[in-house]
Amino acid sequence: MASAQDELVFLPLGGLGEIGMNAALYGFGPEMNRQWILVDCGMGFGGEENLPGIDVVYPDLRFIEEERHNLLGIFITHAHEDHIGALVEMWPRLRAPVYVTRFAAGLLETRRLNEPNAPKIELKEIAPGQHIKAGPFDIEYVPVAHSIPESNALAIRTPLGLVVHTGDWKLDPTPYLGSLTSEEAFRHLGDEGVLALVCDSTNVVREGESPSEADVSKNLAALIKDAPHRVAVTTFASNVARIRSVAEAARECGREVVIVGRAMERVADVATECGFLEGLPEFRSPDAFGYLPRDKVVALLTGSQGEPRAALARIAQDEHPDIALSAGDRVIFSSRAIPGNERAIGAIINSLVEQGIEIITDRTELVHVSGHPRRGELAQMYRWTRPKIAIPAHGEALHLAEHAKFARAQGAQEVVQARNGTLVRLAPGLAEIIDRLPAGRLYKDGNIVIAAGERALPERRKLAFAGIVTVAIAIDDRGELAGDPIVDAMGLPEKNRQGEIMLDLIADVVGDVLKGLPKARRRDPEAVETAVHRGVRSAVNEAWGKKPACHVLVVEV
């Protein structure tokens, strides 16, 4: 039973306004004393944001870190990195039990064993269909089809109503492996009465319905079968259905499968443990690739996103210790470029094509299908669940806005365009945004996690754009130079347009500036620093059209 002060609130901390780093809180109770559950704890990729040296971003969970005594549990919908990838880093700040399926638990565990200092996370394994009671919440795992095994929507029951948090899902009557999105289950929820539907927006801009994984599988099999020589297939390591289709296709035509890349090896191990690869011949290790006949092998590779250290990139550069491809071999990209990765992928494709290798992508062949619902599928979900409130989630601004329009057209009475940090009251009363709370991103920089506001990143960007000049000057107590100033530079062109050496030019300017300073001023290190700094930047700007960073070190001797 809810008391008069109780409220049910939704507070996304990641994933609304970007695709990635999903993390959403649901809270229940009176304003000053809410209890919370966290749904997903994912990471994002920094590559697209022009952040030199940052590959991974995490949601800023400050709000719930401070409230962690009221955090009842972390509920993971599925094992994609944008849903679990921040757990290892962020869990020690939260320390609440983490509910996961067996497959997700297996992946987290192998990762822990492979990462020194990874914390031992308190995992609670759940089964599909299971209910977990946590304070005022009753959370039911409802299986859905997606591009990784054991994906779930969550039916979150509270004294103030039922929220369906879809997680990532699609409709696929023949998913090849894994769960179906059950019409019956979602209709039942609809009959029970859905207060709010928090739903995947990734493909809301696409009409119709996604093709089935089974069709992809059929097509992949044909492409593997009629390949004259070696075949390499690159796909998302976590897509076990795809790994299985490739393995079955290989068996059909008498080829052996070699798994290449650590991420894929790990997934294959966990998938085997969970029984998803049952009945298939064992995979071969990469060193077998060299001696298997060219028409008797299929390599499954990591690196479909162009990651420079992954197997495919290294093979394209002919730098892989075990795997080499040659003219006439076929590489299938059973994947789609995540926005931001197109260039890196393009470079790999071009390099392979130059070597005479045949490339097949989803632009011309059905070799990949998204795991997210298109408009036709979304319409079904709205028909089944008939929510009073719709909250578009899992999307960039455009996706969320399109989804909001779409949800209204599907009959949702209230549509809330929430963003990371908006506190939405779902009940009682009309749904509305009642507060804005701290949210944002953290960056994984080397092995340190830093806040978005830190100086290091704008500095690094500046250095990348215009380099740096360093000047060291020694001055004695009479204001005389003790030896010649030392000038060095990084990231500047060697010569100006007239062919003069840039460093000489800078040294001359430093000399002139110092000469021009009255002796009394030269005894003031700060004054020297300012004058040299200004002189060097303006001289380089004149010569080059860019102003580098400039460090002036004045030493008093």
**Cβ-based burial of 447 (10 A; exposed 0-12, middle 13-18, buried ≥19):** exposed
- Rule CB under 5 A: which of 204-233 touch Zn ion? none
Span interacting with Zn ion, options 58-66, 73-81, 89-97, 504-512, rule CB under 5 A: 73-81
C-beta of 413: minimal distance to Zn ion in Å? Answer: 27
Cβ closest to Zn ion, residue 338 vs residue 427:
338
Q: Please state, in angstroms and rounded to a whole number, the distance separating the CA atoms of residues 96 and 121.
A: 9
Cβ closest to Zn ion, residue 168 vs residue 248:
168
Q: Using omega within 30 degrees of 0 as the cis cutoff, is the peptide bond preceding 92 cis?
A: no
Cβ closest to Zn ion, residue 105 vs residue 258:
105
Span interacting with Zn ion, options 167-175, 212-220, 226-234, 331-339, rule CB under 5 A: 167-175
Cβ closest to Zn ion, residue 61 vs residue 502:
61
The answer to the question of residue 372 lying near Zn ion (CB under 5 A) is: no
Cβ closest to Zn ion, residue 27 vs residue 178:
178
Compose the 125-164 pattern: x for residues touching Zn ion by CB under 5 A, - for all others. Answer: ----------------------------------------
* Residue 428 neighbours by CB under 8 Å, 6+ apart: 2, 7, 160
The size of the interface with Zn ion (CB under 5 A), counted in residues, is 3
SS (H, E, C) 532-547: HHHHHHHHHHHHHCCC
C-beta of 377: minimal distance to Zn ion in Å? Answer: 15
**Residue 78 Cα distances to 147, 294, 403, angstroms:** 10, 37, 22
C-beta of 438: minimal distance to Zn ion in Å? Answer: 23
SS (H, E, C) 254-309: CCEEEEECHHHHHHHHHHHHCCCCCCCCCCECHHHCCCCCHHHEEEEECCCCCCCC
Span interacting with Zn ion, options 79-87, 158-166, 513-521, 527-535, rule CB under 5 A: 79-87
C-beta of 148: minimal distance to Zn ion in Å? Answer: 6
CA 493 from centroid of its chain's CA atoms: 35
- Of 140, 168, 256, 307, the residue at the interface with Zn ion (CB under 5 A) is 168
**Cβ-based burial of 206 (10 A; exposed 0-12, middle 13-18, buried ≥19):** middle
Structure tokens at 194: 């859905």
Degrees (nearest 5) of the Cα angle 124, 64, 163? Answer: 65
The answer to the question of residue 80 lying near Zn ion (CB under 5 A) is: yes
Cβ closest to Zn ion, residue 39 vs residue 51:
39
The answer to the question of residue 81 lying near Zn ion (CB under 5 A) is: no
Is residue 388 within 8 A of residue 412, CB to CB? The reply is yes
Cβ closest to Zn ion, residue 144 vs residue 224:
144
C-beta of 111: minimal distance to Zn ion in Å? Answer: 17
Containing 85, the helix (H) or strand (E) segment is none
C-beta of 19: minimal distance to Zn ion in Å? Answer: 7
**Residue 227 Cα distances to 103, 232, 359, 498, angstroms:** 33, 10, 11, 56
Span interacting with Zn ion, options 72-80, 211-219, 307-315, 382-390, rule CB under 5 A: 72-80
Cβ closest to Zn ion, residue 6 vs residue 18:
18
The answer to the question of residue 82 lying near Zn ion (CB under 5 A) is: yes
C-beta of 298: minimal distance to Zn ion in Å? Answer: 25
Cβ closest to Zn ion, residue 80 vs residue 266:
80
Q: Please state, in angstroms and rounded to a whole number, the distance separating the CA atoms of residues 13 and 86.
A: 12
The answer to the question of residue 386 lying near Zn ion (CB under 5 A) is: no
Is residue 72 within 8 A of residue 135, CB to CB? The reply is yes
Structure tokens at 181: 């999105």
Cβ closest to Zn ion, residue 79 vs residue 323:
79
Instruction: Count other C-beta atoms under 10 Å from residue 440's C-beta.
Output: 16
C-beta of 394: minimal distance to Zn ion in Å? Answer: 6
Is residue 140 within 8 A of residue 155, CB to CB? The reply is yes
Tell me which residues touch Zn ion (CB under 5 A): 80, 82, 168
